[in-house]
Amino acid sequence: MNSVVPAPDALVGRRFDVAAAKMLGVSRAKASELIEARRVRVLGRMMHKSSPLLAGDVIEFDIGEEYREAEPLADDMGIAYEDEDVVVVDKPVGVAAHASVGWTGPTVLGSLIGRGVHITSYGAPGRQGIVSRLDVGTSGLMLVCKSELAYKEMRRQFSQHEVVKIYHALVQGNLNEDRATIDAPIGRAKVSDFRFTITPAGKPAITHWDVLERFGKATLASVNLETGRTHQIRVHFSSLGHPLVGDPMYGANPVLASRLGLDRQWLHAMRLEFRHPRTHVWTTVDSHYPTDLQHALDVLNADRAGRDRADSDEAGLHARTA
């Protein structure tokens, strides 16, 4: 396996052997062996195993499969829809779309194959059958192709923005409008290889949203993605001054996230609508909130009910003393 990847933000400042061990899912001793053999190295500068990783470092891996541990399976990943051509999974948080250097947890593709689900061989090696992805920290519906026919057609539908992708997002603060569209190009941020930002040099990105519920300190919105850029919803709402609750990378308040019991961004892929690749029948698949996201809403509802009771009691007191 030969790969080149930027140093993850979470590992910047860590010892090189510790960082390499975490990225490969191997012991620190094995990582040290690979570093000493120059099979794991930082491009452009010499690194000892105890040297700290710096922001902007690019790591090259030249190792064999013997250093990769067996991938764990996502046993709790539900199947929302399946036929001979496609399978739509309800991806839990903490599951990647496919394997990559630096990720040692379960993947959608690996878990499907581990269950005996046939996946087409079409697509890049290790990413076969995948025509769209969800971030590790985002839960919800994700479509994978089982047949060659489905891969060709669904890839076309996604690239032509014909698939309807509805997300629910909980954003900080009270959105000024009940519905709006954000049309702003997105590209990589100069400050980090893993963050994205609005930039004239970016790719076109269009996000439509409608308010579902207001809690005062946060707003629940239904989001329709016309395009599918990396971190699109997170970047667009952050640009409005309303980052997703639980998303400190884009400016969220960690105190609110802790109050709601969240350790990831409140974002869920709720609905997929597409034309079936074989039958051409318009197909809709729906999901539901996972436990952690529902708990956050329950806390907000309880807070709102408490404020309403307090306001009612105060109004009653004023009426009696008037």
CATH number of the domain bearing residue 213: 3.30.2350.10
| pTM beyond 0.85 | no
Any catalytic annotation for residue 135?
yes
Q: What is the dihedral of CA 59, 60, 66, 67, to 10 degrees?
A: -10
Question: Is residue 212 located within the same domain as residue 90?
Answer: yes
Query: Is the residue at 311 inside a domain?
Result: no
pLDDT on residue 112: 96
Question: Is residue 39 located within the same domain as residue 175?
Answer: no
Kindly give the parts of the chain with pLDDT less than 70: 1-3, 9-10, 25, 64-70, 101-102, 191-193, 310-322
Question: Is residue 46 located within the same domain as residue 177?
Answer: no
The DSSP symbol for 271 reads E
Question: Is residue 47 located within the same domain as residue 115?
Answer: no
Parent domain of 12: 2-67
Round to whole Å and give the CA distance between 42 and 51: 11
pLDDT on residue 68: 55
Q: Residues 83, 135, 193, 303: which is the catalytic one?
A: 135
Question: Is residue 46 located within the same domain as residue 102?
Answer: no
Query: Is the residue at 316 inside a domain?
Result: no
Which residues, at least 6 apart from 67, have a Cβ–Cβ distance to it below 8 Å?
A: 24, 26, 30, 34
Q: How far is CA 131 from CA 70, 152, 154, in A?
A: 25, 9, 7
What confidence tens digit (pLDDT) does each residue in 47-77 have?
999 999 887 788 888 876 555 556 789 999 9
Of 67, 94, 119, the residue that ends a domain is 67
pLDDT on residue 123: 87
Round to whole Å and give the CA distance between 40 and 67: 12
The overall average pLDDT reported for the chain is 89
The most distant pair of C-alpha atoms in the chain lies apart, rounded to whole Å, by 84
User: What is the number of structural domains in the chain?
Assistant: 2
Question: Is residue 87 located within the same domain as residue 228?
Answer: yes
Round to whole Å and give the CA distance between 6 and 9: 9
Question: Is residue 105 located within the same domain as residue 156?
Answer: yes
Strand pairing category for 267-275 and 139-145: parallel
